[in-house]
Amino acid sequence: MDIFEAINTRRSIRKFTGEVISDEEIKTILKAGFQAPSAHNMQPREFIVLKDKEVLEAMAQFHPYAKMLPNAGCGIVVCGDKNLQTEFGFLISDCSASLENMLLAAHGLGLGAVWCGIYPKDDLMKSTSELLNLPENIVPVGVIAVGKKAHEVNPRDRYNESKVHYDRW
């Protein structure tokens, strides 16, 4: 898929067929996550692939907006390592860049995906850390649910000239 087609047609998909996706597809998505830019090129990201239905269900139990997880092909949690990037804002930005790359990669593979936020919700960060046994220095930022689409969502053109400023506000 052409990069502009991918960017312009990606939408959040929240209904999945329940089929698993292949390890090759998962690796392609992970690679896209690793390829994202990061501040000072610290690459402070860690990825946790969730395939176990029990884990996916446990996450859906405490995350009010991630109820689609158990029916997705898998979940991928993107975390930041506070020891590698000590500037917290950069850590979140780096993980966010990975999350978006992964959404686009999933779309490029013809799969559906949605980004479910974890940071900055203290309760979601705590529950995720406990469920996944995350070390103290590892911050969960978001999880993507990815799988075979059970529906299509139409692309939207969101370009808004009134929000574009040139040289000064």
CA 21/CA 24 separation, integer angstroms: 8
* Residue 21 near residue 50 (C-beta atoms within 8 A): no
Q: Which two tokens stand for residue 64?
A: 């009010």
**By the rule CB under 6 A, 43 interacts with ligand FMN:** no
- In angstroms, give the least distance from the CB of 167 to ligand FMN: 28
Out of 36, 116, 138, 146, the residue judged to bind ligand FMN by CB under 6 A: 116
* Residue 141 near residue 92 (C-beta atoms within 8 A): yes
Out of 19, 27, 65, 86, the residue judged to bind ligand FMN by CB under 6 A: 65
**By the rule CB under 6 A, 108 interacts with ligand FMN:** no
- Interacting stretch for ligand FMN, rule CB under 6 A, among 1-9, 15-23, 48-56, 113-121? 113-121
Q: Which of residues 6-25 bind ligand FMN (CB under 6 A)?
A: 11-12, 14
